[in-house]
Amino acid sequence: MIENLLDRQTIHPETAGMMACITHRRILVTGGGGSIGSELCRQIAGYHPKQLIIFDIYENNAYELQMELQFRYPKLDLIVLIGSVRDEKRVMTIFRKYRPEIIFHAAAHKHVPLMETSPGEAVKNNIIGTFHIASASDKYHASKMILISTDKAVRPTNVMGASKRICEMIIQEFSQKSRTDYAAVRFGNVMGSNGSVIPLFEKQIAHGGPVTVTHPDMTRYFMTIPEAVTLVLQAAAFAKGGEIFILDMGEPVHILELAKKMIRLAGLIPGQDIPIVFTGLRPGEKLYEELVIDKRHLNRTSNDKIFICQQEPIDIFQLKSKMKLLYHAAKEESSDMKWLLKELLPEYHIPEKEDTQIPLNG
């Protein structure tokens, strides 16, 4: 069980507020076929929404989820739509036709190394896509829009994290002028999600190793997919506009110790049956992640595991003007994308080009 890898108790939901937010409402989930999006759809379906709309670019994932939900919830009013959040006309058409009341925005590029080499795609999909969803939510008077964010948005050292912090800023900007309640949910790594370290370790162990760890001191916050979705749904119930919700995820996990634990759970001996190899930090990676810069800026909610991060007001004019520059640069495949991101987000640190490789260990 993935839960056995967590050195803390699993977080359980407070269902009353979640039911009030979801039941008999029209719900839209972007990126609904992904790891977080699909679990959102599963849990939302159990709270009897008036209608559940799944919007995803990947038809295979969306189709499989459609079949699953139709089998488990035969009375569910389910709409599955294919398209991209990058496509403004497509987004606006969907909002105009279906008028979703609650939007969970999970569509995003999330792989750190891939976005380092394709920064324009992070801008187009994450930043511009979020702007389109936020604009449509405002125009068609949605009740709430909840953005799925990440701990990598805190003092970002990579394009993915920087793009997600700008997405948070977009949410804050809209919350200052719209009747729609906008909020973001920020959490760490999700155990078992597509592309996460646990499925990778499982495959490496099944093949007899080696298990690859980037650095012996690397740590990450972890949560299970159901926990992540519980947080998102509870945040939707709490949201009043402009919040960034943060989960108390316990202590960060050492990736090396996680690898050893998984090897032992497979009945094998680390370093003997399965070698562990250190490969060096990948482009844009940190040794550790943060959920917030200063814990003194956290406010409690009625759930002792969920906090609200206080944020400075957003300069709307500056954000809009620099967003335009980013949009045109991404369309033109500009080689200056990272520096344009830094102009909009000064705390984004572009790592110097250096050899981050460290000696391999067996």
Evaluate whether residue 362 is within a structural domain: no
pLDDT for the residue 9: 60
Spatial separation of the C-alpha atoms in residues 178 and 287, rounded to whole Å: 38
**pLDDT level of residue 4 (50, 70, 90 thresholds):** low
Which sequence positions are flagged as catalytic? 152
Spatial separation of the C-alpha atoms in residues 6 and 21, rounded to whole Å: 29
Spatial separation of the C-alpha atoms in residues 41 and 66, rounded to whole Å: 10
pLDDT for the residue 297: 67
pLDDT for the residue 195: 66
Spatial separation of the C-alpha atoms in residues 352 and 350, rounded to whole Å: 6
Spatial separation of the C-alpha atoms in residues 340 and 238, rounded to whole Å: 34
Task: Note the pTM of the prediction, 2 decimals.
Answer: 0.86
Q: Which domain holds residue 299?
A: 16-253+289-344
Evaluate whether residue 211 is within a structural domain: yes
pLDDT for the residue 318: 79
Residue among 169, 228, 289, 320 nearest 37 (CA): 228
CATH number, domain of 309, equals: 3.40.50.720
pLDDT for the residue 19: 79
Using the predicted structure, report yes or no on whether residue 357 has a pLDDT greater than 60: no
Evaluate whether residue 4 is within a structural domain: no
Evaluate whether residue 279 is within a structural domain: no
pLDDT for the residue 282: 82
Task: State pLDDT tens for residues 267-295.
Answer: 999 988 999 999 988 877 878 777 655 56
SS (H, E, C) the chain: CHHHHCCCCCCCCCHHHHHHHHCCCEEEEECCCCHHHHHHHHHHHCCCCCEEEEEECCHHHHHHHHHHHHHHCCCCCEEEEECCCCCHHHHHHHHHHHCCCEEEECCCCCCHHHHHHCHHHHHHHHHHHHHHHHHHHHHCCCCEEEEEEEHHHCCCCCHHHHHHHHHHHHHHHHHCCCCCEEEEEEECEEECCCCCHHHHHHHHHHCCCCEEECCCCCEECEEEHHHHHHHHHHHHHHCCCCEEEEECCCCCEEHHHHHHHHHHHCCCCECCCECEEECCCCCCCCCCCCCCCCHHHEEECCCCCEEEECCCCCCHHHHHHHHHHHHHHHHCCCCCHHHHHHHHCCCCCCCCCCCCCCCCCC
* Number of CB atoms found within 10 A of residue 299's CB: 9
Evaluate whether residue 36 is within a structural domain: yes
Using the predicted structure, report yes or no on whether residue 89 has a pLDDT greater than 90: yes
**pLDDT level of residue 314 (50, 70, 90 thresholds):** confident
Mean pLDDT (whole number) for 105-129: 94
pLDDT for the residue 27: 98
* Residue given tokens 């909610």 in the structure block: 301
Residue among 28, 41, 73, 17 nearest 225 (CA): 41
**pLDDT level of residue 49 (50, 70, 90 thresholds):** very high
How is residue 213 written in tokens? 């760890």
Evaluate whether residue 1 is within a structural domain: no
Spatial separation of the C-alpha atoms in residues 63 and 232, rounded to whole Å: 23
Evaluate whether residue 357 is within a structural domain: no
pLDDT for the residue 295: 64
How many structural domains does the chain have?
A: 1
pLDDT for the residue 134: 97
Residue among 12, 21, 71, 16 nearest 44 (CA): 21
pLDDT for the residue 291: 63
**What is the chain's mean pLDDT, rounded?**
87
Evaluate whether residue 8 is within a structural domain: no
Buried b (16+ CB within 10 A) or exposed e, 148-181: bbbbbbbebbbbbbbbbbbbbbbbbbbbeebebb
Using the predicted structure, report yes or no on whether residue 358 has a pLDDT greater than 80: no
How is residue 80 written in tokens? 């599955």
